[in-house]
Structure 1
């Protein structure tokens, strides 16, 4: 139960972190202001105390790493389901086929009388075409 809750929280924190990083304005964005507008104190942009966006990004990043480590520890201690391919030294159960005696290569239908089986007449059997094959 805790694992599933952490997975959902992990997903939400990751999406929020991505969103906050994409919304923020980069430090290099104010660089053009230093070459004529005068709105920046340095070449790489003005840096002051962290505003709401940078603090929120830091907190979300900390949560992301903490939840990542927690989920990793929980997954490492989990026992996985036993797979039949794990132990390949033990042979698989082999089914032995049912042996049919050699004299009974044609299946016999129980309850069928011999009169139900049509008789083969000699005129139905084709003659051999080659003279080397005996009749």
Structure 2
């Protein structure tokens, strides 16, 4: 198996942006869900972060699309500089590497949205329990 395409991915700034947004979002979601005990301060923090995290998660597929577009543009630029499709293997490899960013964006967003939904559910449940206790 040729791992050079995976090494080439890490030279892409969009991949690093995808990783940074995903790691930040997952870290914040996991800390709110599992590492902080629910209390009034936790509820305020969750309400503060819920909308922002949803926006960050929505940015992941868009970043993936940005990576795909930039990869396709560089592939078409390569084709124009080399007078067409003389190097079809090189062009298909460039298109394949461009599609990986979209795949990464989609792979990162699905579990994040599930965690986000779980957090919203936990917040709603805690609010109901807090009202019932009073």
Q: Which TM-score bucket, shorter chain as reference?
A: 0.3 to 0.5
Pick the structure with more helix per residue: 2
TM-score, L = length of structure 1: 0.36
In terms of Rg, which structure is larger?
1
TM-score where L is the length of structure 2: 0.36
Structure with more relative contact order (C-alpha pairs < 8 Å, separation 6 or more): 2
